[in-house]
Chains A and B, each alone.
Chain A
Amino acid sequence: MKHILALLVVDQPGVMVRVAALYSRRGYNIDSIAVGKTEDPHVSRITLVVEAENEAELEQITKQLYKLVDVIKINDLTKDDAVERELALMKVSAGSANRAQLLQIADIFRAKIVDVSQDAVIIEVTGSEDKVEAIIALIKPFGLKEIVRTGKIAMVRSAVRS
């Protein structure tokens, strides 16, 4: 089963490498990894999407991660009510014939055209993994030249919602 782990880590050089290397040497797989600063300048946040066969395996991964001196806190957001987002950039072949159609698809997904050239456009989309997968599937037939995805980031919703 896939899990989304949010790690708060001390903002030190090499901390990403330590996390990623721990995974590979213990024989686990990372689907995606995203890292960035937080509201605290000394703390970064790493969002991992990982595959774990069962609870015991997930527990072992989590404990091994905690052994890293720079890891402060780990939250498994899988079961929480969390907002999940991913950003993707897609370069698509687009001649004058199919450009209108592409724009329409982008519009439905609230995606943006961020670059236009003679024979291609770059589309930017943000959303859940499902949404990103869906737009990719629709765009593929047009000639998807290149794609880049950020990996997932996630945040737990506040308990009291307005």
Chain B
Amino acid sequence: MNLTGAQALLESLRREGVEVIFGYPGGQVIPIYDAIYREGFKHILTRHEQGAVHAADGYARSTGRPGVCLATSGPGATNLVTGLATAYMDSVPIVALTGQVPTSMLGRDSFQEADITGITMPITKHNYLVKNVSELPRIIKEAFYIATTGRPGPVLIDLPKDVSVSACVYSYPETLSLPGYKPVYEGNVKQIKAAVAALETAKKPLIYAGGGVTISGAEEELLRLAEKAEIPVTATLMGLTAFPGTHPLFLGMLGMHGAVAANYAVTSCDLLIAVGARFDDRVTGQVSTFAPNARIVHLDIDPAEIGKNVRVDIPIVGDAKHILAALLSLLSAEKHEQWLKEVNKWKSNHPLVYQPHTDYIMPQAVVETILELTDGEAIICTEVGQNQMWAAQFYRFTRPRSFITSGGLGTMGFGFPAAIGAQVGNPERVVIDIAGDGSIQMNIQELATIASYQLPVKIIILNNGYLGMVRQWQEFFFEKRYSEVALNNPDFAKVAEAYGIKAYTVKKPEELKRMLTAVLNHPGPALLNCLVHPEENVLPMVPPNGSIHQMLGVGEV
């Protein structure tokens, strides 16, 4: 089969099962866009390349399949950078395709030339500059394999224009040879036995579940393990859908804005079982006082995560699903009545609460009402800041891959385009972006995307008129010097209407539920601008570098 590079690219994508590309055209990718046009390959035109990469990310996180984005050389490629870093931090499989100047023009500061493989080296799992069309099928095969296996991550392929237009005799390789890349899936049996023995003697075991559970699809095994051995479970921001939010063994999120019960449990437990989590500083607070009484078992597919931030007693390298299944098969049923009693007391003494207000809508109430109206079934995307933390605290997730948020990088402007990708990948589901008034403006141009494809994404803005999370830090730690955080916002409803999107503003607490219902029931895209209390804070809170059992906003009991 004789194909041009552009045709070979699309054919290879089809063989990898890719159904959609999120992208934005430009000079060096016109040949690829020509092939897309002629072959009718499904493509979503975002209004900014950052939108395209975040959409590919949201697609990947919500479906578990790799997301694909495409941008032109130079500025198109550099516009992908934030999105690649976001995906890299949260281990999301993306294959990013960029145009490049022809190979003969490389290194001459040609028009729209940028060294994108150099730029993205530290924020991709791997990247390629294709020098000859004959290598293209192999490189695509490797890229998908690397992006989706082991600890997943973004892979970038830079495609000079001459590669796209040259002809090749096409054949897609069946096998690949990557002598330096051999992810390990099965856990070491000796280590698994050691973990079982530790569990059998533990009096106060605790599971700390991270995003790795979701990536590995180990939710079922985790649930069975927790129930069989009666182990309470706390989760990271990335792991919130790893365990049913409504389950009696679930303590909620841990860390800086975690639930009191979760943080107390970490401090008291005698065995901490970390599953696909990486002891991030937002989780551990001061490392020296983190889980001070516990032996630590750490399950992770990435050997470099073991012992990186905390000392680990029993490391097990491999895939969470495999290892948890092995643990389950060796473990007998356990009871931890006393421990559960203790944990449940913390839970009932320190529930997540907020003070309702007669004049203001409370942002937490918005999330609670969304939960009520969607029955915990929606795909919730968030921006970054207070909106993100309230969504994490007050929504109860019951379905896997239903919480899409930028954890590691904390990228404002992520949630909305990610929601676009999630909606494209899950046309039947309700997809909601819980947004901040600051963050939504970082990719607000994507309103045009949901309008033109009539993607029924719902945007709910928790509009506090501030870069709220920064304002909160200034209130707590900088004596209320509110430096550059007040936003003079446009009328978001009018902005959305200008794009042809149904939109409302709500101000009165008593109207919140009715307006949310109207927006969620609207068959197409819709936006609700919720004017919420301007100075509400996210509590409880562990001050930066504090110990996680010493939280601000926790009443004495």
Contact = CB atoms under 8 A, between A and B. Distances in A.
Interface in A35-94: 56, 59-60, 63-64, 66-72
B179 A56 contact: no
A14 B129 CA distance: 10
Interface stretch (A17-25, A110-118, A121-129, A154-162): A17-25
A56 B180 contact: no
B448 to A, nearest CB: 37
B544 interface: no
B334 interface: no
Interface in B100-126: 117-118, 121-122, 125-126
Contacts of B118: 17
A79 B308 CA distance: 24
B121 A21 contact: yes
A10 B179 CA distance: 8
Contacts of A132: none
A48 B307 CA distance: 23
A44 B308 CA distance: 29
Given A14-B117, A17-B121, A21-B122, A67 B302 contact: yes
B1 interface: no
Nearest to A21: B121
B368 to A, nearest CB: 41
B304 interface: yes
B315 to A, nearest CB: 11
Contacts of A21: 121-122
Nearest to B146: A69
Interface of A: 9-10, 13-14, 17-18, 21-22, 25, 56, 59-60, 63-64, 66-72
A3 B493 CA distance: 62
Given A9-B180, A69-B180, A60 B308 contact: yes
B557 interface: no
Task: With a 10 A CB-CB cut-off, give which of B178, B181, B306, B308 has the most chain A CB atoms.
Answer: B181
A67 B146 CA distance: 11
B546 interface: no
Contact of A66 (B125, B178, B179, B303): B303
B304 A60 contact: yes
Given A13-B129, A69-B181, A70-B180, 16 more contacts: A10-B179, A17-B118, A17-B121, A18-B121, A59-B307, A60-B304, A60-B307, A60-B308, A63-B303, A63-B304, A63-B306, A66-B304, A67-B302, A67-B304, A69-B125, A69-B178
Contacts of A56: 307
Interface residues of B, number: 18
Interface string B179-196: 111000000000000000
B513 to A, nearest CB: 49
A18 B304 CA distance: 17
A64 B179 contact: no
Interface string B294-306: 0000000011101
6 contacts: A13-B129, A60-B304, A63-B306, A64-B304, A67-B302, A68-B180
B150 to A, nearest CB: 9
Interface in B302-326: 302-304, 306-308
B207 to A, nearest CB: 24
B308 A69 contact: no
Contacts of B125: 69
Contacts of A72: 179-180
Contacts of A9: 180
B180 A10 contact: yes
A25 B303 contact: no
Contacts of B146: 69
Task: With a 10 A CB-CB cut-off, give which of B122, B146, B306 has the most chain A CB atoms.
Answer: B122
Nearest to A22: B122
B180 A71 contact: yes
Contacts of A63: 303-304, 306
A25 B178 CA distance: 25
Nearest to B180: A72
Contacts of A70: 180
A68 B146 CA distance: 11
Interface in B139-197: 146, 178-181
A15 B504 CA distance: 54
B443 to A, nearest CB: 27
B122 A25 contact: yes
A17 B117 CA distance: 11
B341 to A, nearest CB: 38
A123 to B, nearest CB: 37
A55 to B, nearest CB: 10
Nearest to A60: B308
B311 to A, nearest CB: 9
Contact of A69 (B117, B122, B126, B129): B126
Contacts of B304: 60, 63-64, 66-67
A64 B129 CA distance: 22
Nearest to B303: A63
A26 to B, nearest CB: 10
Contacts of A22: 122
A70 B128 CA distance: 12
A10 B122 CA distance: 19
